[in-house]
């Protein structure tokens, strides 16, 4: 049987031999005492990359987002976020459970709201309405199909937020995908945000970990909240070493994932029964709709399994495909053949 091609997510990558070697050789200490030299090195490195005063290593992207929202707001406030955003859809309402926040949802095109939509969602400072605690944006927008947040629009929202004295958080889980696709620095794409979260454990290929970036004061408070939420880690240097390796070795190669995604999108769009808007494939995520004569998403995914291709249904007629470090260009050819066979 052929080896599995896992297109469910870029979270599934496994650490490579040299990454494991870096982990094995990592110097460690107790990070709750801020004494793990490898964690400290990762935090310094990422702070520099993002042109920020400080950074914090957190176990997951979800915890990173939760820590940021908690630090930026007070209970009873609203978080302006998009209808498709991860913080709204896939974090088990942690903003409500952990921080007493409610989402104020806006419906931007492809996960990227217009400034006018955000402005309309901001509450006036009246004592009898919930205050707007922060604005949370996402780049790339995952469920929109890995779309890059239009830069000009992002800057307009940041300016609007400043004017209204509202902080902005960026869920930049896949900000390196955006940076590589645009040939820009992450510092440039995230300028003006009060805080940023990005993931080491997605396209960058580390097994665990995300980073939070902000001012020194913000990170001091984020460190306290990370502990409060149960995310204080001890000899975490073995994980941070994988993060350092990922940042040193796996950033420019994201281009290959994007090329693979484009190839997949173009070929799948030619198959009768599949709907793919190739124009929208900007990074490593492809949304694939199904229609007659193809079966529904659930059945299609089950059939693909018999060709050793793993894909998850996202709705009755929708699937999401994600390319990553463990999907080669040969795998893409095999996956296309599998789709051709499975839609029949």
Q: How many C-alpha atoms does 50 have within 13 Å on its Cβ side? A: 30
Residue 203 binds ligand TLP, judged by CB under 6 A:
no
Could you say which of 46, 136, 142, 250 contacts ligand TLP (CB under 6 A)?
142
- Cα(109)–Cα(112) distance, rounded to whole angstroms? 6
Residue 290 binds ligand TLP, judged by CB under 6 A:
no
- Cα(99)–Cα(225) distance, rounded to whole angstroms? 11
Could you say which of 15, 61, 115, 237 contacts ligand TLP (CB under 6 A)?
61
Residue 11 binds ligand TLP, judged by CB under 6 A:
yes
- Cα(67)–Cα(225) distance, rounded to whole angstroms? 6
- Residues between 33 and 52 that touch ligand TLP (CB under 6 A): none
Residue 310 binds ligand TLP, judged by CB under 6 A:
no
The answer to whether 321 and 258 are in contact (CB under 8 A) is: no
CB of 28 to ligand TLP, least distance (A): 22
Q: Which is nearer to ligand TLP, 56 or 294 (CB)?
A: 56
Which two tokens mark 178? 């955006």
Span of 36-44, 57-65, 180-188, 233-241 interacting with ligand TLP by CB under 6 A = 57-65
**In Å, how far from its chain's centre is CA 169?**
13
Residue 90 binds ligand TLP, judged by CB under 6 A:
yes
- Cα(262)–Cα(281) distance, rounded to whole angstroms? 6
Site string for ligand TLP, 247-286 (x = CB under 6 A): ----------------------------------------
CB of 327 to ligand TLP, least distance (A): 14
The answer to whether 105 and 237 are in contact (CB under 8 A) is: no
Span of 25-33, 56-64, 128-136, 156-164 interacting with ligand TLP by CB under 6 A = 56-64
Could you say which of 36, 70, 171, 194 contacts ligand TLP (CB under 6 A)?
171
CB-based closest residue to ligand TLP: 61
Q: Which is nearer to ligand TLP, 72 or 294 (CB)?
A: 72
Residue 9 binds ligand TLP, judged by CB under 6 A:
yes
Residue 167 binds ligand TLP, judged by CB under 6 A:
no
CB atoms under 10 Å from CB of 255, counted, come to: 15
Q: Which is nearer to ligand TLP, 54 or 285 (CB)?
A: 285
**Residue 238 neighbours by CB under 8 Å, 6+ apart:** 23, 24, 26, 28, 38
DSSP string covering 226-255 = HHHTT---SSTHHHHHHHHHHHHHSSTTHH
- Cα(258)–Cα(326) distance, rounded to whole angstroms? 13
Residue 97 binds ligand TLP, judged by CB under 6 A:
no
CB atoms under 10 Å from CB of 230, counted, come to: 9
Spatial CA neighbour of 324 closest among 139, 176, 103, 134: 176
Residues that bind ligand TLP (CB under 6 A): 9, 11, 60-62, 65, 86, 90, 138, 142, 171, 173, 199, 201, 210
């Amino acid at each position: 049987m052929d080896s599995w091609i896992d297109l469910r997510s870029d979270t599934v990558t496994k650490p490579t031999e040299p990454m494991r070697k870096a982990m094995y050789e990592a110097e460690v200490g107790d990070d709750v005492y801020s004494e793990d030299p490898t964690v400290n090195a990762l935090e310094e490195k990422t702070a520099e990359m993002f042109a920020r005063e400080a950074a914090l290593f957190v176990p997951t992207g979800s915890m990173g987002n939760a820590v940021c929202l908690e630090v930026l707001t007070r209970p009873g406030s609203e978080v302006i976020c998009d209808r498709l955003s991860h913080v709204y859809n896939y974090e088990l309402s942690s903003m409500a459970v952990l921080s007493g926040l409610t989402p104020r949802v806006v419906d931007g095109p492809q996960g990227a709201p217009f400034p006018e939509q955000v402005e309309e969602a901001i509450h006036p400072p009246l004592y009898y309405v919930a205050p707007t605690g922060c604005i949370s944006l996402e780049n790339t927008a995952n469920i929109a199909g890995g779309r890059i947040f239009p830069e000009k629009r992002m800057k307009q929202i940041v300016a609007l937020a400043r004017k209204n004295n509202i902080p902005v958080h960026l869920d930049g889980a896949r900000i390196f995908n955006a940076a590589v696709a645009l040939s820009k620095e992450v510092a440039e794409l995230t300028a003006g945000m009060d805080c940023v979260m990005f993931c080491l454990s997605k396209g960058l290929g580390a097994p665990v970990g995300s980073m939070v970036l902000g001012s020194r004061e913000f990170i001091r408070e984020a460190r306290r909240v990370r502990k409060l939420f149960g995310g204080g880690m001890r000899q975490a240097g073995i994980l941070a070493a994988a993060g350092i390796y990922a940042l040193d070795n796996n950033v420019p190669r994201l281009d290959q994932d994007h090329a693979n995604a484009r190839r997949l999108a173009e070929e799948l769009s030619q198959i009768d029964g599949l709907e793919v808007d190739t124009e929208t494939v900007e990074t490593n995520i492809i949304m694939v709709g199904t229609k007659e004569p193809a079966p529904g998403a659930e059945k299609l995914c089950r059939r693909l399994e018999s060709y050793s291709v793993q894909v998850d249904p996202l709705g009755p007629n929708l699937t999401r495909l994600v390319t990553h470090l463990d999907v080669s260009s040969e795998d893409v050819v095999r996956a296309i053949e599998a789709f051709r066979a499975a839609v029949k």
